[in-house]
Amino acid sequence: MGFSPPPKHSTSREHAIKYKLAFDQYLREKCYDDIKSLVAFSGSMVLEEYPEETFTEVKMNQGIKTSEIADQFASDAYQVLLVANKFQTGFDQPLLHTMFVDKRLDGVQAVQTLSRLNRTTPGKDDTFVLDFVNKSEDIYNAFKPYYEETSVGEKADPQQLNDLSYQLYEWQLFSQEDVNNFCEIWFRPKTALTEREHQQLNSLLDPIAENYKNLKDSEKEQFKNQLTSFRNLYLFLSQIINYQDSDLEKLYAYGRFLLKKLPRSTEDPKIDLSGDLELKYYRLQKISEGEINLKEGTAEPLKGATAVGTRQPDQKVPLSQLVDLLNERFGTNFTPADQLFFEQITETALSNDTIKQAAQVNTKENFAPVLERNLENLFIERIEGNEKIFMEVMNNEEFRAVVFEKLLSSIYEVFKVKN
């Protein structure tokens, strides 16, 4: 069975769709009736070559839902899975033998992704990786610390979630009824919410955000940090613990949207946002073939979420200049309110340890692919926050390139100022 992550550039979803179309066309031309493929990507997309068609994961997989892909791939019906930013962690399929990699992999992510192959099953004597992007020394350095032994540091305590939940309700900014009313709409069994339902969700969150403004500055920071800590800890623990308490899941869904509504501090540094980035060409060239042999290494413990954070990023970057530039260049009519979307993306990036570490030890050019990989995740997670900007970013390459270069400059400069 084969697993192929398409390139994690800003067009990775587009590439996943094109891979799927080309792969299936090849199977038809060669009359390979015993091979079928699945594709995994988020959201929906319209390609320039097919302006009248909207591509979705479910549609391209002939009605197979996202939750069913793993089971279908485990059956005899499907042998190839084309992936854009999915199934890199927590995907346990012993039959997986071959992986084609066309995206940048760094550190733990390289270990997590390539280790999808490290499952044994009768008849499976080896594995194979065809890598179009990464250097062998980078993969070697990624696996080296974990080669012989990997210990686990202080473990995350699931009880912290209950403690945080209690503390959040103690503020009396929102009630259990508020959370239930929000989730009754959000979890309705449908592919997408209507405009009216989005308005209803906003009407449930806006009064809470207004009441938040009445808190003292120190209280605002404490509440926001508690809510952020609950969101992050739940997201981490939910990958390994099957929660029976649906109230925690509801509070997580409610809290992550409420965080987007809470106002930010206005004490932000100003920096120069200049220059553009444009992808001119993409070339495939065979660089090397061989094995990566690991010798004895020193294992470092893996760190989990163990404590409730109380600190926010020291500096934030205003992006009003980016909104003005986009309006001028692309004829859009984004307003200062749309600036919040980019600020939320930036704020989350500044608090991401992986992004922070990459910025501290790399040049801006080497830091770019690390940020690009993480930014697409952030845009997908925040599709509900501003669908208009999200669709422009995903479907307009020139627009996306300008946005990425500005975010790259601002985020990199902030990390360098801190150092």
pLDDT, average across residues 163-191: 86
Band of the pLDDT at 26, cuts 50, 70, 90? Answer: very high
pLDDT value of position 303: 57
Answer yes or no: is pLDDT of 65 > 90. Answer: no
pLDDT value of position 25: 93
Range of the domain at 362: 320-418
Structure tokens at 64: 């197979």
pLDDT, average across residues 108-123: 82
Asked if 54 and 44 count as a contact pair (C-beta separation under 8 A), the reply is yes
Domain membership of residue 289 (yes or no) is no
pLDDT value of position 7: 42
Band of the pLDDT at 177, cuts 50, 70, 90? Answer: very high
Higher pLDDT, 227 or 304: 227
Contacts 24+ apart (CB under 8 A), 169-177: 171/223, 173/208, 173/211, 173/212, 173/223, 174/208, 174/254, 174/258, 176/247
133 in the same domain as 10? yes
pLDDT value of position 166: 86
Mean pLDDT of the chain, nearest integer: 76
pLDDT, average across residues 274-291: 53
pLDDT value of position 384: 59
Higher pLDDT, 304 or 406: 406
Band of the pLDDT at 314, cuts 50, 70, 90? Answer: very low
Answer yes or no: is pLDDT of 149 > 70. Answer: no
* Count: domains in the chain: 3
Q: Report the alpha-carbon distance of residue 135 to residue 132 in Å, rounded.
A: 9
246 in the same domain as 169? yes
Higher pLDDT, 103 or 321: 103
pLDDT value of position 31: 92
pLDDT value of position 178: 92
247 in the same domain as 338? no
pTM beyond 0.75: the answer is: no
Residue 57's domain is classified under what CATH number? 3.40.50.300
Q: What share of the chain is helix, strand, coil (3-state, %, to 5)?
A: 50, 5, 40
| Domain termination site, one of 146, 174, 198 | 146
| Domain termination site, one of 240, 261, 282 | 261
Answer yes or no: is pLDDT of 23 > 60. Answer: yes
Q: Report the alpha-carbon distance of residue 90 to residue 112 in Å, rounded.
A: 9
